[in-house]
Amino acid sequence: MSLINLLPHRAAAKKLRQSRFNRQLGYCVLLGFVLALAINLFFQEKIALQRQNNLALQAQATLLENKIKEATALQKGIQILQIRQHAVQDLQLDRNIPVDVLTELVKQLPEGVYVTSLRLDKAMVTLQGVSPSTEKVAEFLQNMGADSKWFTRPELLEVVAASVSLAPFGLRKVANFSLRLHLKRATLTDSASPSATAITGQQSS
């Protein structure tokens, strides 16, 4: 018995090819979706890892900043302590300066010359005195400039002729003078107290 296919074979073959194409397209779409999901998960993991690294770096940076601030505060504290220590040392070294200054003046004053007032201001000494002659004033300046261990750069500010009454010898001519001296001590700097020490009536021996 012979079998005769009455269905159009071309339509059946086309339908079969279409079915295969649809299945292949579905597989490709599914594979693409899986690949896209895998790539997305991979990049999400990388991003999360980078965020963790960034957080760790930020924590380390914050820790370093805190350490730098602590070190800066400690350094400032050390500088303040050093300044106070130097100030205390200067005070200890300079507390005997007025006595040493007066002792040096008595040593360097020529005979007959005496000081009527003395002012110590920072590293500067200004004094006024009376001399029996201008030669004695010149001798005093020479002593203070050459032989003094406490004073340097004497500057004569003024010399004025005057007369004083010395009973029973009557009037006697004298020279009133004023001069300025610089202390050699390095501890007396501009950072010292602005107040000055005034001494009057120092007379030579």
Q: What are the boundaries of each domain within the chain? A: 11-95, 96-200
Residue 48's Cβ-count burial label (10 Å; 0-12, 13-18, 19+) is exposed
Predicted TM-score of the model (pTM): 0.44
Planar angle of CA 110, 114, 117, nearest 5 degrees: 135
The band of 96, judged by pLDDT with boundaries at 50, 70 and 90, is low
Angle at 127 between CA 132 and CA 200, to 5 degrees: 90
From 156, 157, 131, select the one nearest 141 (Cα to Cα).
156
Average per-residue pLDDT in the chain?
Answer: 77
| Phi/psi of residue 93, nearest 5 degrees | -75, -30
Q: Does domain 96-200 have CATH number 3.30.70?
A: yes
Residue-wise pLDDT for 16-53, tens only, equals 778 888 888 888 888 888 898 999 999 998 898 999 99
| pLDDT tier for residue 120 given thresholds of 50, 70 and 90 | confident
In 3D, which of 173, 175, 165, 166 has the Cα closest to residue 139?
175
Cα–Cα dist 107/119, whole Å: 18
| Residue 192 CB contacts under 8 Å (≥ 6 apart), including other chains | 90, 122, 123
Confidence check: pLDDT of 197 > 60: no
201 band by pLDDT with thresholds 50, 70 and 90:
very low
Give the pLDDT confidence of 157-187 residue by residue, as tens digits.
Answer: 888 887 776 666 667 788 888 888 888 754 4
Tell me the C-alpha distance between 130 and 30, whole Å.
118
Beta-carbon contacts of 179 under 8 Å, excluding residues fewer than 6 positions away, are 126, 127, 140, 141, 144, 154, 155, 156, 157
Average pLDDT over residues 119-126: 80
pLDDT score for 29: 87
Q: Where residue 4 falls among pLDDT bands split at 50, 70, 90?
A: low
DSSP state of 116: E
